[in-house]
Structure 1
Amino acid sequence: MTELLIGLVITVAVGYYIVKGYKAAGVLLVAGLLLLILAGFLGHTVLPKAVASTGNLLTDSLEYIKYMLQYRNGGLGLQIMLLCGFATYMTHIGANNVVVKQFSKPLSFIKSPYVLLVAAYIVACLMSLAVSSATGLGVLLMATLFPMMTAMGISRPAAAAVCASPAAIILSPTSGDVIVAAEKSGLPLHVFAVETVLPVSICAIIVMAVAAFFWNKYLDKKNNTPMEKLDISEIEVKAPAYYAILPFLPIVGVFLFNGETIPGLTLDIYTIVVLSIAIGAVVDFLTSRFNGKETLENLEACYAGMGDAFKGVVMLLVAAGVFAQGLMSIGAIDNLLALADKAGAGGVALMLLLTALTVAAAIATGSGNAPFYAFVELAPQLAVKLGLSPAFLIIPMLQASNLGRTISPVSGVIVATSGMAQISPFEVVKRTVVPVVCGLITVIIGTVVLVPMYA
């Protein structure tokens, strides 16, 4: 329990200093290093299996920072930088203004920005079927839908929350979490994903959409949040109308190439964004009547956007990753598992306990995968002891891990979307917390009603 207490104290301290205005990246990095060093002194392994030890616990902590820099820059960090560069490029060449101008006309009959917010949230949830990564999807939506949402009168915190939320509820029947959950539940994938998880997910998404409508409206009014709706007549558009398709090229590319839509041709998100930038440059070159110098100068905006993304978003992700590793290394998650194992509760009470612990671990670590993969190993064993159906315990845990990540100020998706929106992670969490709580309650009720408790 000492490790759990240490983790709790340092987590509270992190929240305190970030609220006080300290730079989040620095706070998370210092806290993560402290946790890793304390883990080493307490006899725990500091580094994950994928990272070789340096032979000293102090330098092992620094070795993990190096690993996170390499890992983030080569994976998610590169994706974020590419998409931020793309978004900056689209703004620079005037494509985003064309989109706002074109879409404002058919949407002008919708007077409430909160109705538009709900519509954007539903579209974003459908996008989660194509993009499995919560952070990747959030960044993609920030680069494409966010400028349009704010221009249509949705406040920046509300728009960022929409981009951060679609992966809070699992829809895809082929995501890694669902496959693992089906296996541990002892059910065929199609039965588990389509007949049990999907109905609960749809109900939760509807409830969260309604909650987002009223909660964001309340917060905007309470805080007098600036609404940035643009007067269509004041939008300066220098680019031709066909530029409106350019900002959506990454989304179109995901649906066309990130799978087997076109037989024999599969592109990952990185190549799709690079292709989108290239197409944008070619269109810009042709539109400028083959002015190569101007086209290359416009591309400089893309490179500058990538650099800003590294400074403002990727380093935050690195720091959050170090903090999460510190919590896991010191044994805070293992202590939570021990609490669940000792609980001598009935079926519903045990399900609620496991769900609560999963949410707590997801909030603390900022990860949706790590807490679920840790706790899901325990669920079948506890279910057998009490004669329960494993699916009854696992389905709420599966959804709770993703919901918890959506209200964690250190999660990748919250850090990335808040960084791109240039607002505090806590401002985004404030917008997501009520819809997430409503979604979690819906998941629990849906599980009790739709999933048999006993095997």
Structure 2
Amino acid sequence: MIWIGLAIVLITFYFIYKNYEARLVLALSGLLMAVIGQFIVGSDTTVSAAVNAFVKQLVNGGLVPTIVTVMGFGAVMTYTKCSDHLVNALVRPLTHVPAIVVPGAVIITWLMNIVLPSAAGVAAAVGVLLIPALIALRVRPVMAAAAVFLGTWGSVISPGLMFNPQIATIAYKAGEIPEADAMVVIMQEALPSAIGVVVAAVVLAAVCFFLKEGVGSTKDVDEKASGVNGDFKVNPIMALIPIVPLFLLVIASKQVGLLPTKTFSVPVCMLIGTALGMLVGLVHKQPAGECSKRFCKGAGDGFNNVVILIAAAALFAAGMKSIGLTGALVNAMKGSQSVAMFSAAAGPFIMAVISGSGNAAALAFNEAITPHAADFGMTVVQLGAVAQIAAGLGRSMSPVAGGVIILAGIAGANPMEVVKRTALPVLIAVVVVTIAMYTLN
């Protein structure tokens, strides 16, 4: 039965790699394993229990409000152009120091991805501004696209990313943290991730220097980028609004404690940011009703694209448990801490590179393996964070990721040429972040 379960898992990831609907594939695979587990193995995890695991995620009070409000807030920031003002405010200083243009673009995109946690969404929102700005500075278009693409894993420390609330919930159930607060997880991920993005940016700058694709490497071009030619007037207030919720969350975290944590939860902070965005919209004659529609659409997309995927992964994990595969994997990892440490990074990373999205692999890993972190001599946060960060980094060197396709289109470049430039920085970053997560926490 374990071999049959392993075969089902491999077939599942093959179908996801082939771009079949991930939610459907995970749910059907989970049900199949649950049926085998109940009626052939005689497992305690029945089909009904597997379905209940799916339903439980749809009404998860710690998960659903966080994701839908973050996604709704991001949609409002895009509609009101507040995100454009923030990007332009960040880009302008780069024009004065050519050496930091490429690594600076990586870090700017990474920071913006915390506010707008969709990789494809931030690629579109930031790429349409940054890539023309870099090209206007005579950076080669393919390197401009690579710089932005390399920053599309900043969402790993976003409160709206599906994994952080998920890991917080698992850690809370394990008694590792006092409450299911995603910010507790993010605070432990922040330093390793920040080290990782700096390392990735520096390595890409070295690649850029070696290939001679940096500032001044192409013939003169028209300055089409508003952030470079000065036509775009940055409104400081609009530029600050996207970071207000993150600022509130940081100062309300237990580590800082300047505001009451229970009052300033993720949904509350995101709604405050949304309200400020609506006020700005009204000042610029954008109807509040339209802002509301954008918020609701963003929230609905968050439920559709994120929450249901998490629920499907929970059903898949329940099926793995029913057929006995989870127990076998846990026992195998118990024999060696290094095996568990390597698997947490390698599995989601490879899946992300192949399929363009490591979400399914990381979600399944966190549902099935991460709760047993103590058996491997690690914490839930360490093991779960490594899995999801590795998935985010792996996506940043995948030629089939939505973000690279968008950016390559903006730059007029080949996606394969873009990922050739992000591959080395990503590989080094995943090693650095993994070591940092295991040693600094």
Q: TM-score, normalised by structure 1?
A: 0.61
Q: Is the 8 A contact 2:245 2:269 kept in 1?
A: yes
Q: Of residues 313, 321, 339 in structure 1, which corresponds to 2:314? A: 321
**Deviation digits for residues 210-259 of structure 1, max 9, x if unmatched?**
2465379979x99x9xxxx9442689869955222222221122124444
**Which whole-Å CA distance do the structure 2 matches of 1:421 and 1:65 have between them?**
31
Specify the code of the residue in structure 2 equivalent to 1:33: L
Asked if residue 159 in structure 1 is aligned to residue 151 in structure 2, the reply is yes
Q: Of residues 237, 240, 243 in structure 2, which corresponds to 1:242? A: 237
| Alignment correspondent of 2:329 | 336
Specify the code of the residue in structure 1 equivalent to 2:93: P
Instruction: Decide whether aligned partners of structure 1 residues 207 and 278 sit closer, same or farther in structure 2, where only a CA change above 3 A counts.
Output: closer
**Which whole-Å CA distance do the structure 1 matches of 2:271 and 2:384 have between them?**
32
Q: Of residues 44, 55, 60 in structure 2, which corresponds to 1:66? A: 55
Q: Equivalent residues in 2 for 1:223-302 (5 A)? A: 230-232=225-227, 240-259=235-254, 260-262=257-259, 266-288=263-285, 294-302=287-295
| Alignment correspondent of 1:6 | 4
| Alignment correspondent of 1:352 | 338
Q: Of residues 300, 308, 318 in structure 1, which corresponds to 2:301? A: 308
Q: How many residues align?
A: 365
| Alignment correspondent of 2:24 | 26
Shift of 1:21: 2.2
Q: Unpaired runs of 5+ in structure 2?
A: 132-143, 162-167, 177-187, 214-223, 349-360, 395-400, 407-417
Q: Of residues 91, 97, 111 in structure 2, which corresponds to 1:104? A: 91
Shift of 1:207: 5.8
Instruction: Decide whether aligned partners of structure 1 residues 327 and 399 sit closer, same or farther in structure 2, where only a CA change above 3 A counts.
Output: same
**Which whole-Å CA distance do the structure 2 matches of 1:261 and 1:146 have between them?**
35
Shift of 1:96: 2.0
The higher radius of gyration belongs to 1
| Alignment correspondent of 2:397 | none
C-alpha RMSD of matched pairs (Å): 5.1
**Which whole-Å CA distance do the structure 1 matches of 2:426 and 2:274 have between them?**
32
Q: Equivalent residues in 2 for 1:14-93 (5 A)? A: 14-41=12-39, 42-46=41-45, 57=47, 59-71=48-60, 74-93=61-80
Q: TM-score, normalised by structure 2?
A: 0.63
| Alignment correspondent of 2:103 | 115
Using the aligned pairs only, state the percent identity: 20
| Alignment correspondent of 2:388 | 405
**Which whole-Å CA distance do the structure 2 matches of 1:264 and 1:313 have between them?**
25
Moved more, 428-437 or 311-320: 428-437
Q: Is the 8 A contact 1:124 1:166 kept in 2?
A: no
Shift of 1:265: 7.5
Moved more, 267-276 or 296-305: 296-305
- Helix, strand or coil: the match of 1:105? helix
**Deviation digits for residues 86-145 of structure 1, max 9, x if unmatched?**
2221222222222233332223235455412564598699x8xxxxxxxxx883999889
Q: Equivalent residues in 2 for 1:304-453 (5 A)? A: 304-341=297-334, 343=335, 350-356=336-342, 366-368=364-366, 371-376=369-374, 378-379=375-376, 393-394=377-378, 399-408=382-391, 435-440=429-434
Q: Is the 8 A contact 2:171 2:371 kept in 1?
A: no
Q: Is the 8 A contact 1:212 1:435 kept in 2?
A: no
Q: Is the 8 A contact 1:312 1:419 kept in 2?
A: no
Asked if residue 214 in structure 1 is aligned to residue 212 in structure 2, the reply is no
**Deviation digits for residues 139-182 of structure 1, max 9, x if unmatched?**
399988994477334646423223237899xxxxxx89999999
**Which whole-Å CA distance do the structure 2 matches of 1:85 and 1:252 have between them?**
18
Specify the code of the residue in structure 2 equivalent to 1:281: M
Shift of 1:320: 2.3
Q: Is the 8 A contact 1:313 1:420 kept in 2?
A: no
**Which whole-Å CA distance do the structure 2 matches of 1:208 and 1:101 have between them?**
20
Shift of 1:14: 2.0
Instruction: Decide whether aligned partners of structure 1 residues 105 and 398 sit closer, same or farther in structure 2, where only a CA change above 3 A counts.
Output: closer
Q: Is the 8 A contact 2:53 2:314 kept in 1?
A: no
Shift of 1:366: 3.7
